Amino acid sequence: MDDDDRNREAMASAANAAYYDAFERKDFATMASLWEPSDRTVCTHPGWPPIHGTDKILQSYASIFNGPQTLQFILTNELVVADGTLAYVSIDENLVDESGSTSSTSGLNIFSWNDGRWLMVVHHASPIMSR
């Protein structure tokens, strides 16, 4: 891996961190700026059916952000791969809600290189079941 690959992976990791930061802060403007504005985007929140298209995805975040629940993300097991114009981040999302209850989801975020930065095209999170 050369320096350019490492730099693009670092940028993908930073874009991924910005997503979770915006989610925690319920920062809709930042969340909207992180998604590619297109119809090819897909988002699957835990337990939800897939949502297609950035407009509908952002509506889902507006709904979540306007709700009473506040979440803290403790992110672990991050794997970042950048290859050409696509990057993906596999990550464990360890969630803590305002009451202190915890749960974990497995997240997969896919980014597309757009005008010198990574924009999210796919977010998929599914619950991790205890064994």
In tens, the pLDDT along 55-87 reads: 999 999 999 999 998 999 999 999 999 999 999
Contact by Cβ (8 Å): 17, 34: no
Strand 102-114: give its sheet, edge to edge: 51-52, 42-44, 117-127, 102-114, 86-97, 71-83
Contact by Cβ (8 Å): 89, 112: no
Q: In what helix (H) or strand (E) does residue 73 lie, and over which residues does it extend? A: strand 71-83
In tens, the pLDDT along 11-25 reads: 999 999 999 999 999
- Amino acid residing at 24: E
Q: What is the CA radius of gyration of the chain?
A: 15
- How big is the chain, counted in residues? 131
pTM: 0.94
